[in-house]
Amino acid sequence: MLDFVNVRAGIVVTGTEVLTGRISDANGPWVARRLLGLGVDVAHITICGDRPDDLTAQLHFLAASGVDLIVTTGGLGPTADDLTVETVAQFCRRPLHLDAELETHIAQIISRWQQQRSEPTAESSQAGTRKQAMIPQGAQPIPPVGTAPGIAIPAVTEDAHRTPAILVLPGPPRELQAMWDTAIGIEPIAAAIAGRGDFREQTIRALGLSESELAATLRTIEPGIDGVDELEVTTCLRRGEVEIVTRYPIDAQAAYDALAGGLLEHHRTQIFSVDGSSIDDLVATALQGRSVATAESCTGGLIAARLTDRAGSSGYVMGGVISYSNDAKTAMLDVPAELIAEHGAVSEPVAAAMAQGAVGRFAVDIAVSTSGIAGPGGGTPGKPVGTVCFGIALAGTAPRTRTLHLPGDRAAVRERAVTIAMHMLYRALRSDRRADGLG
């Protein structure tokens, strides 16, 4: 733990569907990011099922570990297995009471929904509404976005019954996220995080840099940096990229600058971003004023999906072809059948022709293509599973190609191929800008 962190929080994610791995939790990471962004340190995230004893045990653990704030997510629905409010109230020794105003408010929301869906008002929903309007003594409700209100419970600082502040939020990520800003501004929560520190977080991203190479570089440069102990450096592999995230108090800026400078010196060709930009950000910026299309085989639409993931991408994405069959490569991308017969579908000449075909068919400035063997079947001694050929075509120039052997299973090969394609797009766009005298 770093000294500059004054306020610590714990996050409790509830839900048997999360605990048993049937859905992956989006709330823990989201709340953690927000708390860190506020200068609050996150000590623990715990996940429990819809069982009051386990939830109570986790609340005791977090309170005993000395956190100033606990945020819980989930378990606020109208049904019997939603037990968070009751359990939290019992943990805090605060009896529940009906908030009549809140009950009316929730009933109005439900009746509006039912009118839209022309459903009759069910007796069951009245019981559910009443359940959702029960509030622990001394707590403040947070207005619902769906039907479930949040709850803010003040900290108790007397030693005998010491409990941290508790923020109870619903499970649906859309509701939780829409309620966040209100929730952290509400008195019991604002008071709990008032002592937070003032720090920065910076991210450097690299491609083609192994974690052990990076560790060796850090061992080389860190001893020479004054105040290096104030930097909390975390490295992680993500989609084939390495991400180096450093948190530090504002007055350790010089130490961070020295670290960042040392990393750049050692890995200039591998580092592609020092300001937190992702490759997706860089590609989107580089595509402003241009147009792009995709020609995908083994990635099956994932490159196009990633490009169109961003709002505003319709300004530069014209479209793409998924040419899974050889016939589709010929019919939709003008890849000569003889070329496929001669070199095989997974080959650089075919990848080049696919990219060129996409440039022609979609009348775009640039196109990227993939043709590969994602597995588990289809590998040969010469072209094992994981072999992926990439093509980049810029209108009016000869296409460039590359072949890589990517590790992992089908999903990993596909995902990594998409990341490589994004980097090839970026490099081609950047060097093209330079040729234009624009970059």
Does 264 help bind its own copies (rule: CB under 8 A)? no
Does 320 help bind its own copies (rule: CB under 8 A)? yes
Tokens (6 digits) for 396: 């009016």
Does 409 help bind its own copies (rule: CB under 8 A)? yes
**Contact characters 339-378, its own copies, x per CB under 8 A:** ----------------------xxx-----------xxxx
Spatial distance between the Cα atoms of 388 and 409, rounded to a whole number of angstroms? 13
Does 230 help bind its own copies (rule: CB under 8 A)? no
Among 96, 156, 245, 274, binds its own copies (CB under 8 A): 245
Q: Which stretch binds its own copies (CB under 8 A): 86-94, 151-159, 281-289, 409-417?
A: 409-417
The candidate with the shortest Cα–Cα distance to 193, out of 101, 67, 282, 59, is 67
Q: Of 155-184, which residues contact its own copies (CB under 8 A)?
A: 172, 174
Q: Which of 308, 430 has the CB closer to its own copies?
A: 308
Among 104, 234, 380, 397, binds its own copies (CB under 8 A): 234
Q: Which of 152, 321 has the CB closer to its own copies?
A: 321
> What is the residue whose two structure tokens read 């606990």?
70
Among 190, 216, 341, 435, binds its own copies (CB under 8 A): 216
Cβ neighbours of residue 433 closer than 8 Å, sequence gap 6 or more: 286, 439
- CB-hemisphere CA count at 13 Å for 7? 22
* Beta carbon of residue 155, minimum distance to its own copies (angstroms, whole number): 20
Q: Alpha carbon of 55 to those of 15, 72, 290, 414: distances in Å? A: 10, 10, 53, 39
Does 6 help bind its own copies (rule: CB under 8 A)? no
CA 150 to chain centre: 24
Among 19, 191, 260, 339, binds its own copies (CB under 8 A): 19
Cβ neighbours of residue 267 closer than 8 Å, sequence gap 6 or more: 206, 209, 213, 214, 217
**Contact characters 56-95, its own copies, x per CB under 8 A:** -xx--x---x-----------xxxxx--------------
Q: Which of 22, 268 has the CB closer to its own copies?
A: 22
Question: Count of residues binding its own copies (CB under 8 A)?
Answer: 105
Does 15 help bind its own copies (rule: CB under 8 A)? yes
Q: Of 285-304, which residues contact its own copies (CB under 8 A)?
A: 294, 296, 299-304
Instruction: Report residue 366: phi and psi, to 5°.
Output: -150, 150
Among 84, 246, 323, 419, binds its own copies (CB under 8 A): 323
CA 28 to chain centre: 11
Cis omega (within 30 of 0) on the bond before 376? yes
Among 187, 198, 211, 342, binds its own copies (CB under 8 A): 211
* Beta carbon of residue 359, minimum distance to its own copies (angstroms, whole number): 13
Spatial distance between the Cα atoms of 63 and 410, rounded to a whole number of angstroms? 43
Q: Which of 191, 403 has the CB closer to its own copies?
A: 403
Among 260, 274, 332, 404, binds its own copies (CB under 8 A): 332
Compute how many other C-beta atoms are within 10 angstroms of the C-beta atom of residue 117. 6
Does 227 help bind its own copies (rule: CB under 8 A)? no
Q: Which of 94, 361 has the CB closer to its own copies?
A: 361
Q: What is the dihedral of CA 87, 89, 95, 101, to 10 degrees?
A: -110
The DSSP 8-state label assigned to residue 223 in this structure reads G
- Give the angle subtended at the CA of 368 by the CAs of 352 and 282, to the nearest 5°: 145
Does 308 help bind its own copies (rule: CB under 8 A)? yes
Total count of residues recorded for the chain: 439
- CB-hemisphere CA count at 13 Å for 49? 8
